[in-house]
Amino acid sequence: MEYQIIWFVLWAVLWAVYFMLDGFDFGVAMIQPFVAKSDAERRVVLNSIGPVWDGNEVWLITAGGATFAAFPTAYALMFSYMYTAMLLILFALIVRGVSLDFRGKGDGERWKSAWDRAFVVSSFLPSLLFGVAFGNIFRGLPMDAAGYHGNLLSLLNPYGLLTGVLFVLLFAVHGGLYLAIRTKGDIMVRSQNLAMKLWFPLFGIAVAFLVATAFATKLYDNYLSAPVLIVIPVIAVAALLAVGHFARRNESFKAFSASCVTIVMVVFTGVAGLFPNLIPSTLDPLYSLTIFNSSSSVYTLRIMTVVALIFVPIVIAYQIWVYRIFSERLSAEEIAGDKHAY
């Protein structure tokens, strides 16, 4: 197997794992106003992700770094053509981290409320814009020898926005299920109920996304030429149905596990349809960025493969350990008496 193909697969895995992990962080923040009714309960929500959110973002750095090192041309043009959207995501991620830390620096209600709102908005915006960005990658960008013919508003096309809404709902349901397995009492019940309520619009948007993909993109060409790939979207749909089934039965851990599979398979569905493209051109296929015309040298990819085989398992093992350490359910009563919590 060629190293470009290996790194295309790893590229997909890194982004899928990032969305699976940081997705519930985004979701927890977005649903906080609906599941936390008091300051103590809002602190429970914050502390449910407090020990892990920054570790989850390591996967964003890894995915971005892998894109830069393995496919530098695609990285350069992707961040150039979608510069404004990427900059907004960066600013939002900075505000999110600051809001988590600064909320507890003051005792005033207005101070805390301001940072709570910042926490919600700075999690909603990346969720939406990541979806918009990947929707436009799936759809392709208007680019040729003269460069990119578009701007931020052109990225906000119907298919890009549909993908953005899909990401927002995926993460919101994911976050609700995560809170349901990390908390006790009223927050757990509200989170379970909200996740179930949000599952219905999520399913509708997912169906709309699959239909729109047939008209707005060429992703299904690969599925027609290699029918074995159909198993990927089939697993995604089956996992999404499983989320609704287990959520309705209040089997939150099973529902959360199914949600993890759903997010990973949604990303794989898009990436499998892209191959061998990284960013298709909607103007002329000759100007599409592929894994072959935008990759680093084989020698570079070979060294990166050795590094990845050594360090990625270490990162995975560390994160598993962290999640096991902080697996105990949280309650408002316990958090209220903990001065070291958020």
Rg of the chain in Å (alpha carbons): 20
Q: Report the predicted TM-score, pTM, of the whole model to 2 decimal places.
A: 0.94
Residue in this structure with the two tokens 């119907």, named with its chain if needed: 158
Mean pLDDT value of segment 271-278: 94
Predicted pLDDT of residue 100: 87
In this prediction, what percent of the chain has a pLDDT beyond 70? Answer: 97
* DSSP character string of 261-328: HHHHHHHHHHHHHHTTEEE-BSS-GGG-EETTTS---HHHHHHHHHHHHHHHHHHHHHHHHHHHHT-S
CB atoms within 10 A of CB 94: 11
pLDDT at 1 over 90: no
In this prediction, what percent of the chain has a pLDDT beyond 90? Answer: 70
Out of 88-102, 198-212, 233-247, least confident range: 88-102
Per-residue pLDDT tens for 238-273?
999 999 999 999 999 999 999 999 999 999 999 999
Q: Which amino acid is at 86?
A: M
Q: In terms of Cα–Cα distance, which of 52, 51, 171 is closest to 123?
A: 171
Q: Pick one of 3.40.50.720, 1.20.1630.10, 1.10.10.10, 3.40.50.1000 as the CATH number of 3-336.
A: 1.20.1630.10
pLDDT at 334 over 70: no
